[in-house]
Amino acid sequence: MRLARGTLIWAALVAAVCVPIALAGTSDLLAYRSPIYILAGFAGIVALGLVLVQPLLIGGYLPGLSGNRGRSAHYWIGGALVAAVVVHVAGLWITSPPDMIDALLFASPTPFSPFGVIAMWAIFSVALMAAFRRRLGLAPRTWRITHMSFAVVIVFGSVVHGLLIEGTMETMSKAALCTLVLAAAFKVIADRVWRNRATARGEGTANGL
């Protein structure tokens, strides 16, 4: 029974991430794009998929990847997310330098660009902080609050960015993936806040956690 449930959760996650990628692969627009532009677009879709995986890992919702294993996977998937965003931005820069420069300077006419750029800086910031967390001597509580704040910006920015783009992604599968990203982030944040409150009540205000 537990095995069946685990298989089901993993199958649902693989479908949630891979179906939008597969449907984007059938887009008519691909015929008119250069390989680098196509690569940049898919890197963006993969990044959105990874934004779904991240809260699921840290929340311990994925069978076989709870606790420290989940945290470790979250750390490495974070690195993969940075790589996907770099490929996305670099590929678009090569495709049309002036459009990418406009976006990075917040001077773009497209309404979705600033959301993507803000999410990108939030992803880079949180990755740098995670890499140098011990060296910076960040207190666990400071780290948790900072990371969670960045996570909210990343999730919200990525979803708005993705939804407003008219590109290779199929509309329904894109909306479904975005909904799941929001739901997963909301669930993990709600669980954490709830747990912290319960802990604070249980232990009084002794350590302020």
Contact between 104 and another protein (CB under 8 A)?
no
Does 29 help bind another protein (rule: CB under 8 A)?
A: yes
Are the C-beta atoms of residues 115 and 164 closer than 8 Å to each other?
Answer: yes
Report how far apart, in Å, the C-alpha atoms of 37 and of each of 19, 33, 40, 59, 168 are: 20, 6, 5, 34, 11
Between 10 and 93, whose beta carbon lies closer to another protein? 93
- Choose one: 61-69, 158-166, 183-191, 198-206; the region binding another protein (CB under 8 A): 158-166
Among residues 128, 191, 149, 170, which one has the least CA distance to residue 41? 170
Q: Is 171 in the site for another protein (CB under 8 A)?
A: no
Name the amino acid, one letter, at 27: S
Kind and range of the H or E element at 175? helix 171-203
Is residue 23 close enough to count as binding another protein by CB under 8 A? no
Q: Smallest distance from the beta carbon of 53 to another protein, in angstroms?
A: 24
Q: Which string of DSSP letters, residue by residue, matches 77-140? A: HHHHHHHHHHHHHHHHHHH-HHHHHHHHTT--SSTTHHHHHHHHHHHHHHHHHHHTHHHHT--H
Considering only the stretches 26-34, 56-64, 147-155, 187-195, report the one whose residues sit in contact with another protein under the rule CB under 8 A: 26-34
Q: Binding string to another protein for residues 70 to 99, with x set by CB under 8 A, is what?
A: ----------------------x--xx-xx
According to CB under 8 A, which residues from 34 to 63 bind another protein? 34, 37
Residue 70 or 116: the one with the smaller Cβ distance to another protein is 116
137 binds another protein (CB under 8 A): no
Question: How many amino acids of this chain bind another protein (CB under 8 A)?
Answer: 22
Q: What span, in angstroms and rounded, lies between the C-alpha atoms of 32 and 177? A: 25
Give yes or no for residue 164 binding another protein (CB under 8 A).
yes
Cα-Cα-Cα-Cα torsion 162, 187, 9, 50, nearest 10 degrees, comes to: 30
Provide the binding-site residues for another protein, judged by CB under 8 A: 29, 31-34, 37, 92, 95-96, 98-99, 102, 107-110, 112-113, 164-167
